[in-house]
Every structure is written in C-alpha cells, then in structure tokens.
Amino acid sequence: MDSSSRRRDAISLKELAQHLMLSQSTVSRVVNQSPGYLRIAPSTRERIMQAVAEMNYKPNMMAQGLRRKRSQIVSVIVPEISDGYSTGVLSGIEDSLLLGGYFYFVVSHRHRPELLHEYPSLLQSRAVEGIIAVDTLIEEELSIPVVSVSGRHRVGSMVNIELDHQLAARYALEHLKKLGHERIAFIKGQAFSSDTNARWRSITKVASELAITISPRLIVQLEGIGIGIEPGRVATVTLLERNEPFTAIFAFNDHAAMGAIMALHEAGLDVPGQVSVVGFDDIPGAATNNPALTTVKQPLQEMGRVAASELLTILRSDERMKTKRTIRVLPTFIERASTALAIHNQEKKEPVLFRSIR
C-alpha cells in the first residue's frame, strides 16, 4: 500500500502542533505565512512545512472562515444554467476565481421573483463574500459587493461589465446596409432582460446615423420566460402576420434568430434567399445552425473572467465602498450563412411582400 492510496481523515492544526511539540500559534503562522512568519527560526519553519506535507494537513476552511470572517466563497447568479449565454460567462468566471483561491456557488433564478428575492439573503447567511450577477437585475441593496455582467443595477452593484452596444449595433446594421437591406425588422429582448433597453437605444441611435428608418410595425418583442428558440419563433409569427414587407431581421439573441428562421421556414420563406437574419451572442449552436448564423459575438468568457477578477480586486481592497464603474468589452462580428444580398437589389428596388400566414 503506497501512500497515495492510503486514506487518512483530515488532521487538525492542534494534532499537527502536538506531533511537532510546538504551539498552534507557531504552526498556524508558518502554514499561513502570516506576518511574523519570517521571525520564526528557519529550522522550525522547515520542520513544520515538512510535517504539513507528510501528514497532508489542510486547514479547515469553515473554522478559518469563521475566525477571519471570510468564507472565500462567492456566488454567481444566472437566469438559467442550461443556457449558452450563462454557461460561456461561467466558464470565464471559473478561470479567475479558482486562481484567487475562491470557490463559487451557482444559483439560477429562472425569472421567478421569489427566488430572485430569496437568494441574496440565503447567500448572505452562507457568508458569501460577493456576488456576480449575470444578466440579472438585483433589486435589493446588499451589504456585499456585486459585480454584474450586462445588467445595469440601480443599487448595490459596484462594477458593471457591459458590451459596447453601439459598436455591436453598428456592426450588424452596417453589414445589412451594405447588403442592400432597407426594411429591417427587429426582435427586441424580453422586458426582464437587463440588456434589452441599452441595446435598443444603441440600435436606434446607429440606425439614424446610417439613415436607416425603423418602422414601428417592424418591431416585435420576445415574450415569456420560455427558454430555447420558441419565443423567437412566436415573435416572428406575429411579425409576419403584420404583413409589412421586410428583407432582414436583427434578432436580440441567437436563440431568437434561430426561432425566427424556423418561423420563416414554416412560412415557406428562404433564409437568406428571401430574408436575412442576424443573431447576437454567438452561442455554441450558432455555427452549426441551419443556416449558420451571422451574428454579433459577445466575448462571454472574457466577460466572466473580467467580472471575477474585478470582484476579487474589490474583496482584496478593504475599502469596500469604491466608486461604481463600468468596464466595456468589445463585440466582434461573425459573418456566416444567414445573411445575403437583399432581394430588391437583384430585382427592382422593391422589397418582397409576404402574404399573411394565416
């Protein structure tokens, strides 16, 4: 039986100290390299470090946390964990957090108000040191720092990681304009989605700069907390029923774009032959979608990484009440197969008119 397969239960500082015939204080100091650590005799340090390794001593984080009043835990709160968006951000968060010696809880609220309300206090009772809110708006004022990823917070939130929505809108709109699209339909985000308004403002601004007219009859909005592509499909059906001609759709996110494409297909329309569709996010399924999605890519992992390292910075600096600030990250634009030249370009300056589906 080699030492790696032998299983001992955790050993305590007290036992370790006894074994070494030293006080807990001394052992604790060298284990943690705490101030005063250097004043301890090198030979003693040596002995201690050796015993730590041999006996596989690991401090009990609950005791440590209780004493130091730091749990070394943060929490990430997302709308829905089985969603490409949250998941990309989470992956980036993990990178930064573990390097900093923190673990994280993840909780998802699924847009249920009770959960959204309960979680902060539940987490507080868990002595969580900070919160990263992904695409969710924290209403209550918390006594721990929160950094949010694309969710502007009235209160609490110290740092906001936000996409440069203006650049995003410019990418998409210039692309469509270059392809000759003039009648562009828009699928706005759900009212509860924290990005919805910021994104929409940028779109209208950029549209006017580019002299693109937005017809109110070509604006639809995602509704319901349904996950997946269904909300986008429904919105597009509504759009088609309005019987207002358009040659392109700019969707709030990739799911909505996929749903739009499904509705378009169901209505017998070709994408991108008759209608071009631009998505947003570049979630994993975007590239393999039918057709592959042209989309504005958010650097999700990077956003997570930045969020986590900002939170750690706040936690390390004792003055918790820093000034609020926003960190802007840049989108990129991915051209794939769901966009093409507007049809009236090849024919005669006249957008296609769709008959109502029903």
Footprint of a second copy on this chain (CB under 8 A)? Answer: 4-5, 7, 9-10, 56, 58-63, 65-66, 71, 73, 80-84, 87-88, 90-91, 94, 98, 103-108, 121, 124-127, 140-143, 228-229, 258, 262, 284-285, 287-292, 301
Per CB under 7 A, the segment of 32-40, 83-91, 173-181, 230-238 that binds DNA is: 32-40
Q: Does 321 bind DNA (CB under 7 A)?
A: no
Choose the contact partner of 280 out of DNA, a second copy, none; CB within 5 to 8 A by kind. none
The residues pairing with 76 across neighbouring beta strands, listed in sequence order, are 106, 132
Site string for DNA, 327-356 (x = CB under 7 A): ------------------------------
CB 239 within 8 A of CB 220: yes
Q: Which helix (H) or strand (E) holds 260?
A: helix 254-266
Instruction: Give the residue, chosen from 18, 33, 54, 63, that forms a contact with DNA under the rule CB under 7 A.
Output: 63
Q: Which of 13, 137, 167, 327 binds DNA (CB under 7 A)?
A: 13
Which one of a second copy, DNA, none interacts with residue 36, CB within 5 to 8 A by kind? DNA
AA identity, residue 328: R
Can you say whether the dihedral through the CA atoms of 118, 123, 127, 131 is positive or negative?
A: negative
Stretch that binds DNA, among 60-68, 115-123, 184-192, 249-257 (CB under 7 A): 60-68
- Minimum CB separation from a second copy for residue 10, in Å? 7
Phi-psi region of 135 (alpha: psi -120 to 50; beta: other; left: phi over 0): left
Distance CA 236, CA 252 (A): 12
Kindly write down the DSSP assignment for every residue of 301-344, as one continuous string. HHHHHHHHHHHHHHHHSS---PPPEEEEE--EEE--SS----HH
The answer to whether 294 and 338 have CB atoms below 8 angstroms apart is yes
Least gap, CB of 217 to a second copy (angstroms): 28
Residue 293 is classified by DSSP as P
- Say how many C-beta atoms besides its own lie within 10 A of residue 17's C-beta: 18
Of 242, 263, 269, residue with least CA distance to 356: 242
Name which of 21 and 211 has its Cβ closer to DNA: 21
* Complex with DNA: residue 13 or 219, whichever CB lies closer: 13
> Which of 25/50 has CB closer to DNA?
25
∠ CA 301-287-137, rounded to 5°? 40
| Residue 238 binds which of DNA, a second copy, none (CB < 5-8 A, kind-dependent) | none
Shorter beta-carbon distance to a second copy: residue 162 or 254: 254
Residue 272: beta bridge partners?
A: none
User: Which of DNA, a second copy, none sits in contact with 5, Cβ below 5 to 8 A by type?
Assistant: a second copy
Q: Which stretch of DSSP H or E encloses residue 107?
A: strand 103-108
**Only segment of 14-22, 92-100, 144-152, 210-218 that touches DNA (CB under 7 A):** 14-22
Out of a second copy, DNA, none, what residue 7 binds, judged by CB under 5 to 8 A for its kind, is a second copy
Binds 228: which of a second copy, DNA, none (CB < 5-8 Å by kind): a second copy
Please give the residues from 173 up to 212 whose contact with DNA meets the rule CB under 7 A: none
71 vs 196, beta carbon nearer DNA:
71
Give how far Cα 333 sits from Cα of 38, 217, 328, 330, Å. 54, 27, 16, 10
**45-69 b/e (C-beta count within 10 Å ≥ 16 → b):** bebbeebbeeeebeeeeeeebeeee
Q: Which does 28 bind (CB under 5 to 8 A by kind): a second copy, DNA, none?
A: DNA
Pair of tokens at residue 74: 């943060």
Pick from 19, 40, 107, 336 the residue near DNA by CB under 7 A.
40
Residues that bind DNA (CB under 7 A): 10, 12-14, 21-26, 28-29, 31-32, 34, 36, 39-41, 44, 57-60, 63-64, 66-69
